Structure 1
Amino acid sequence: MRCPFCGESDTQVKDSRPTEDGSAIRRRRFCAACGQRFTTVERVQLRELVVLKADGRRVAFDRDKLARSIRVALNKRPVDEERQERIVNGIVRKLEASGETEIKSDEIGEAVMDALKGIDAVAYVRFASVYRDFREAKDFEQFLGSMDGAPLATEDDARHE
């Protein structure tokens, strides 16, 4: 593994351990050339996924982009990083298990919406506002009105899990 600090190709693994959910291996590495330490994460990838965008473009699936969007929706919410990582892993496993190599971008968005709906109502609405491209306050009103009667997770629910 190449050192991200100095570019040296000879780095040493000092410690390896599985992540909490067992879906990846976290490795602590050391670069003898510059003395820096860094962490790498190794995951199983079942297949190369391609995202089919609404405009017809095809782009490689980016797990980090998915994780970022979930982190943004959950920003300052009572959901810890490990739980966020489990959400991302669950969505990725679901996409890979579908058997399809091309996934429509709206399928990914709906999978995120489903996951967030059961975890945190505020994050669910935040994500929906970007995903569904809310432009005015009435868009929020309509969305919130459509949620009436549907059970949503609260802050207390997130703390107790």
Structure 2
Amino acid sequence: MRCPFCASTATSVLESRTVDEGEVIRRRRKCDKCGKRFTTFEKVRGTALWVVKKDGRREPFDKEKVKRGILRAVEKRPISMDLIDDIVESVEREMLRMEKEEISSKAIGRAVLKRLKRVDKVAWLRFASVYLEFEDLEDFAKAIKT
């Protein structure tokens, strides 16, 4: 690992531990040349997931797009960015566990809805109104009753 301070490749690992439910390895390192310490994170490079949209188009899975959708739903709600990031990571892991190269946008939407319902009912309803394409107040009423 190259030192970010002096660019030397001579570094030593002082400590290693897993984070993010074992998905990432955090390593504390020390440069053998300049003596400065720094932290690195190792994560398995994701496999290519393709999302099949309602109209049949395919596009690469983009967790930032999932995050933007959640951010719109949680706007002005007491939900931390850390929790939002956890939801996005959890959705991505669920999609990867399906072991398919293509997943439907509906599967992603259902996974987000499931998590938002546990976290914040208002955010869940906002997300559901877009994802489930509510057309009138009756659609909202039906969703609230479920």
The TM-score, its normalising length taken from structure 1, stands at 0.64
2:111 — aligned with what? 111
User: Quick one: distance in 1 between partners of 2:118 and 2:53?
Assistant: 26
1:130 — aligned with what? 130
Deviation at 1:43, TM superposition (A): 5.4
User: Quick one: distance in 2 between partners of 1:88 and 1:24?
Assistant: 15
Cα distance, 1:78–1:23 mapped onto 2, change above 3 Å: farther
Deviation at 1:55, TM superposition (A): 1.2
1:55 — aligned with what? 55
User: Quick one: distance in 2 between partners of 1:57 and 1:123?
Assistant: 28
Q: Residue 59 of structure 1: SS of its match in structure 2? A: strand
Deviation at 1:13, TM superposition (A): 3.9
Deviation at 1:46, TM superposition (A): 2.8
User: Quick one: distance in 2 between partners of 1:44 and 1:67?
Assistant: 20
2:120 — aligned with what? 120
- Listed as ranges, the gaps of 5+ residues in structure 2 are 6-16, 26-40
Q: Which is higher, the Rg of structure 1 or of structure 2?
A: 2
Residues 31-46 of structure 1: matches in 2 within 5 Å?
A: 44-46=44-46
Match of 2:121, as an amino acid?
A
| Coordinate RMSD, CA, aligned | 2.5
Q: C-alpha deviations, 1:3-56, integer Å up to 9, x for none?
A: xxxxxxxxx946xxx9x737569xxxxxxxxxxxxxxx9854331000011111
Residues 66-145 of structure 1: matches in 2 within 5 Å?
A: 66-145=66-145
Match of 1:117, as an amino acid?
K
Deviation at 1:144, TM superposition (A): 1.3
The TM-score, its normalising length taken from structure 2, stands at 0.70
User: Quick one: distance in 2 between partners of 1:63 and 1:51?
Assistant: 11
Cα distance, 1:104–1:129 mapped onto 2, change above 3 Å: same
Structure 1 segments of 4+ aligned residues over 2 angstroms from their partners: 20-25, 41-46
Cα distance, 1:46–1:71 mapped onto 2, change above 3 Å: same
Deviation at 1:72, TM superposition (A): 1.2
Q: Residue 119 of structure 2: SS of its match in structure 1? A: coil
Count residues in correspondence. 118
Residues 18-33 of structure 1: matches in 2 within 5 Å?
A: 21=20, 23=23
Q: Could you tell me the percent identity over the aligned residues?
A: 39
User: Quick one: distance in 2 between partners of 1:106 and 1:127?
Assistant: 13
